[in-house]
Structure 1
């Protein structure tokens, strides 16, 4: 064998098992690692550390569904140099050889466009050329491996919680201070790194054995810890009561202790806010004077009018208001409050109407208001927004407990550049090409029993959890229903996690917009680029990712989507929208009596400040409640008709679920249920 520094490791994935001769004539050491057909995750891991990937294609058997899924997954993950060969077949007709070779080349170019030739192992010259390509070529690395270190284990031993892995350091220099990721088992700390000379070097030392020597040890002050999340302090925001001295200070008259307001600090406009509501929460409340847009009452004003003209205009306004008041009284007198049976009959008739396909696509978030639960209770976590694109939304308001566990970066790009620069300047490292034995502490014994042991070095902070966002697109070959919070397997870089992602709209150009608010998507549909959000460890670089859905066969998952890492933005607000709809029961120009949006008067008063809109583009506001069954009077900015539909959009912020490491052989990540032909979690089915 040649020196280990010049050896190239090859991930050999056979569609048919095949053996290659040695490459002695090219003076190159080639290490072949065959992967059995059907081992999906082993094939993914093997290709992550390979310099070359050899695809062996059958001239008679077409690639099945499993092989097609694997090729698409490897294409998404990122492939090194690829060599395609056709397996030998003595029964193949020589006349059909040319057509078969062209067909196989066209097939491989669909997944690997850089392929220019498929080597035929039936021909001796092609066999030699294939070995020459492997021996003399210069392998390229996928983009996600830039700056990373990996080790393909040649031997692995476990003793009292310490895993000793022997292999050649590849990629960048190996730092003893960084964590090592072991697929299917997690991240671990390095305790020691020893040299591991090849046994064949013993003959050059006159029979004297070369003992392994200690190369580097981690620096306890610089070594990364295994702490991945914060411990929430429940006492940090504890409610405190005033002391007895503070209570006595405001007892009695108490007014002398309150200083006068400074000049110029008193606001000129005082806005009335409902009791118990903060100023920020009341920002979406519309003043009564804001929607007085009737041309007959509001037009014709001039700030430079003379006093006499002002008085005459005031008289006209009073007369106009009296006429409107009489009209409103007449409409109220004509209103008839129906009984419960008639209300129920008309409600069923209205709800069972056939919805147009265009309306369903335009308003996919329509929701019927429940009758048995008050709307103010059922939708108490929702709020109205005057403008979804520009209305302010505090990203630190009412955060869940999981947000106290994650880490946030002030400038993630700057942190990434600093981490990469620091890794290049680290002196406590082992140069690539060195054969070493790495000691990992606190590793389970099952890790040494795997046939393929691979180690990946992580950058600083890549073990810490944050909110991760990925831009993803559906796999065109997968037709199943995908909805938010369905369990998925996220493959990104060298790691795999079980996640329950939520999907949101991807802003054009990848920007945040004025308020960094993005619409939640219930379903992940074809042909649309969405952003998948989850809690997970930090990811550096523009790494590719893919979402897998488990099946009854653990080694044959469905490839649902593929994409790339976007950012770890903790201030990105994902707002779930629901639209409550109502029917314009009676219409008088710009005023309409709306029913079926609510079913009691208290709900009408509760949601009165929120702006309404119709499917035909009108906007308006609730004026008052009518009767006891939730009828309301609304005023719009233009005439409407009874064929229109009145809509009230409500929003609330949603969050993903906590992720965990995926391990082989654990079975399904969560119980599943079949509901309306779609796959969903039991928790979601119970919630519905």
Structure 2
């Protein structure tokens, strides 16, 4: 009997369907996880041909990168090549930058015998052995602003570390500033404050400790050199002469020139008195330079370029050509770029607002009296007495705005007296302040910071009127300073524990105190018109329909238009004050940075910053700080707002303001300032008793110039559930009169336990009201009402950085006056 066996499976393999198009599953399986490329022109090729095309594309990209590196290296080679700028910074106590330059130049032997280093801030060394030249910049020690300026233009930054002492707190602040600003190639060198002969190298443990320290700020460092030893000095010099310095991202495409030798000055009879043409000579670096664009001079502002003339380096070939020429001179300089008045940038930074545009005028009394009775005008007739009637309006309201406010007294009979006028401000063609001792504090909806600023201004005016001023004792001054700092810290802690919560005033109606605030059903989705009730400052600034698109066009044109990089030129800058020429210190370098199109115009700038963890003092909104962005520095009073994750704007582009700059999170700082393009890093500094050593408060980068970004200040009014019955509760202590309850009844409320509700009706005459919620409310819960108001920054002004020489001159003048 034969055994019976079943089939292994009951499935049958049918013939595959012959389709002219591959299914999604087959394509996904064929791709094997590889993402499709940007170019779909190879989609019709086979897998082998596609692989060959990818290899060819990768090879072409490699060739382009290698060609760019070779071209960049050629920029510094040859007798007429661009010198490599090396900034030497003293970090440790006892280090000497000029001794380091002498040790590096000593490696060249006879080539550098005539180099003068003592007393100079700029030292030029010709390293013909390496077919290049070096330009050492030696900024003054402990001068933060000058060091930041020198590192902005440097290709290499050399840090001098001591093998006996640690880096001071000032040096740590400097490294954090340079880390946030961005620098070129970094070289670390160790020095001994007391060199011996013959020199003794520091212990290996010391070198490891210094390398670990410098790697904390610049992780790419591999070695700490010791230039007192000839072998290490030779390796360090070869690294400076043969290496290819990395480019800093914010300098990509932006031209700058380091002046060589003394500045030139040409009197201009057509210019204003005290102004003329400044001549800067040097190599163009970074990007192309055009005469149609503006240039920025450190500490002096923006100026127009008249023309750019070639200034080639004198070589042996040029001397031979000059000797054989008929005129006996070298080739005459040529104009490489000249300013075109029709296409060049102007120095206009603000719009001139038209205050009468779309203005609706109000008829005068004479026009009303002379008008015919049957004029057919709409609305009830108005008498002369009604036009001159005084109204109660919020503080800061103009007469035009007051004309459209419907007052409660207009509904009264003509014979009734206005008993509430003492609680407001009268308008009769203008505003009259109340004569009472307390005034109308908070009627305009200002926050606590603005009220404190007004009190400070009033105090300063009173002090100015007084003829006598007595200094306090040192102990009392220290005690008051400690009390002030303690109050600031208490305010910071209170805001952190109870964010945005305010108490409703009892002597002022909440509808008047918070007249400028509004309620939002949803902070992220509720509509908010960005052009509603804008201040006059917004009529002065510039905006873009598409800032990102304009930025890409401006950066692209900056790389294509202008004189090429590496050309030695003379830049003639017009209408420059003579003090720029006279104030130049010959021992310090002079820098000129080119600006892109529109970068002189004022707009609303937003920066994403993170607070420095080493700074412990509270940083309040609108505190005075120094903004360092790109080649510029400004004194600002920024306002802070939340940075939406991923940089999104939401449905309405509304962002919550922050009263303090918190640590551990990214925050957006908003200021008025000149427009910026590109990825620009920024630093926020705060002045100290030492003008040359400010404190680093925060660092970050430029976000955008969005004039439609709404920064809304939030306040939270809180109430206590007095009686609770399931979803209904009686709330007290949120308002103190029934009028405020009726005024704020449309605003949605919420509780700290997550319930939402609304006002149902007012109870009694003390501000109690009944509220309904979406779920059962807890007796221990707190009822909250969120109100919002748009805030705006203050105007910024250029910051002139002090120098060691200017401070010495000021001290000498004070001693002479004394």
2:712 pairs with 556, 562, 575, which one?
575
CA distance in 2, matches of 1:489, 1:583: 44
Residue 416 of structure 1: aligned partner:
551
Task: Report the Cα offset of residue 666 of structure 1.
Answer: 11
- Deviations along 1:607-640, one digit per CA (max 9) or x if unpaired, are 1111111111222111222222222222222222
Task: Report the Cα offset of residue 238 of structure 1.
Answer: 0.8
Task: Report the Cα offset of residue 199 of structure 1.
Answer: 5.7
CA distance in 1, matches of 2:734, 2:598: 50
Matched, 1:506 2:650: no
Q: Is the 8 A contact 1:534 1:659 kept in 2?
A: yes
Task: Report the Cα offset of residue 91 of structure 1.
Answer: 5.0
Question: Structure 2: which 5+ residue stretches go unaligned?
Answer: 1-76, 106-111, 113-126, 268-274, 381-403, 407-489, 805-818
1:90 pairs with 195, 207, 216, which one?
195
Task: Report the Cα offset of residue 178 of structure 1.
Answer: 0.5
CA distance in 1, matches of 2:312, 2:702: 39
Q: Is the 8 A contact 1:505 1:518 kept in 2?
A: yes
Matched, 1:134 2:269: no
Q: Is the 8 A contact 2:628 2:683 kept in 1?
A: yes
Matched, 1:233 2:354: yes
Residue 341 of structure 2: aligned partner:
220
| Structure-2 change in CA distance of 1:247 and 1:661 (3 Å) | farther
- Deviations along 1:419-476, one digit per CA (max 9) or x if unpaired, are 22333443xx322222222111222233222333101111111111111111111111
Paired residues for 1:252-651 under 5 Å? 361=496, 363-426=498-561, 429-448=562-581, 449-450=583-584, 451-651=588-788
Residue 301 of structure 1: aligned partner:
none
Q: Is the 8 A contact 1:581 1:648 kept in 2?
A: yes
CA distance in 2, matches of 1:359, 1:551: 26
Task: Report the Cα offset of residue 374 of structure 1.
Answer: 1.4
Task: Report the Cα offset of residue 203 of structure 1.
Answer: 4.7
Matched, 1:156 2:263: yes
Task: Report the Cα offset of residue 209 of structure 1.
Answer: 5.1
Task: Report the Cα offset of residue 213 of structure 1.
Answer: 4.5
CA distance in 2, matches of 1:115, 1:640: 61
Residue 48 of structure 1: aligned partner:
152
Task: Report the Cα offset of residue 524 of structure 1.
Answer: 0.8
> What SS is found at the alignment partner of 1:191?
strand
Task: Report the Cα offset of residue 277 of structure 1.
Answer: 10
| Structure-2 change in CA distance of 1:599 and 1:111 (3 Å) | same
Q: Is the 8 A contact 1:13 1:34 kept in 2?
A: yes
> What SS is found at the alignment partner of 1:174?
coil
Residue 271 of structure 1: aligned partner:
none
| Structure-2 change in CA distance of 1:441 and 1:660 (3 Å) | same
Q: Is the 8 A contact 1:13 1:56 kept in 2?
A: yes
Q: Is the 8 A contact 1:474 1:527 kept in 2?
A: yes
- Deviations along 1:471-521, one digit per CA (max 9) or x if unpaired, are 111111111111111111111111111111111111111100111111111
CA distance in 2, matches of 1:493, 1:70: 17
Residue 80 of structure 1: aligned partner:
184
TM-score, length basis structure 1 = 0.77
CA distance in 2, matches of 1:522, 1:392: 24
Residue 102 of structure 1: aligned partner:
208
CA distance in 2, matches of 1:628, 1:90: 86
Q: Is the 8 A contact 1:54 1:85 kept in 2?
A: yes
Q: Is the 8 A contact 2:86 2:137 kept in 1?
A: yes
CA distance in 2, matches of 1:4, 1:663: 35
Task: Report the Cα offset of residue 96 of structure 1.
Answer: 4.9
> What SS is found at the alignment partner of 2:576?
coil
Task: Report the Cα offset of residue 241 of structure 1.
Answer: 6.2
Residue 175 of structure 2: aligned partner:
71
| Structure-2 change in CA distance of 1:456 and 1:251 (3 Å) | closer
Q: Is the 8 A contact 1:42 1:452 kept in 2?
A: no
Paired residues for 1:655-670 under 5 Å? 655-665=792-802
* RMSD over equivalenced CA pairs, Å: 2.9
Q: Is the 8 A contact 2:80 2:315 kept in 1?
A: no
CA distance in 1, matches of 2:782, 2:556: 59
Task: Report the Cα offset of residue 570 of structure 1.
Answer: 1.0
Matched, 1:180 2:325: no
TM-score, length basis structure 2 = 0.66
Task: Report the Cα offset of residue 24 of structure 1.
Answer: 4.0
Task: Report the Cα offset of residue 3 of structure 1.
Answer: 2.6
- Deviations along 1:248-299, one digit per CA (max 9) or x if unpaired, are 566799xxxxxxxxxxxxxxxxxxxxxx999xxxxxxxxxxxxxxxxxxxxx
- Deviations along 1:522-550, one digit per CA (max 9) or x if unpaired, are 01111011111111111111211111111
CA distance in 1, matches of 2:202, 2:89: 26
Range 505-514 or range 90-99, more displaced: 90-99
CA distance in 1, matches of 2:530, 2:379: 41
Task: Report the Cα offset of residue 587 of structure 1.
Answer: 2.1
CA distance in 2, matches of 1:95, 1:542: 42
CA distance in 1, matches of 2:196, 2:763: 86
| Structure-2 change in CA distance of 1:358 and 1:152 (3 Å) | closer
Q: Is the 8 A contact 2:254 2:558 kept in 1?
A: no
2:141 pairs with 37, 40, 45, which one?
37
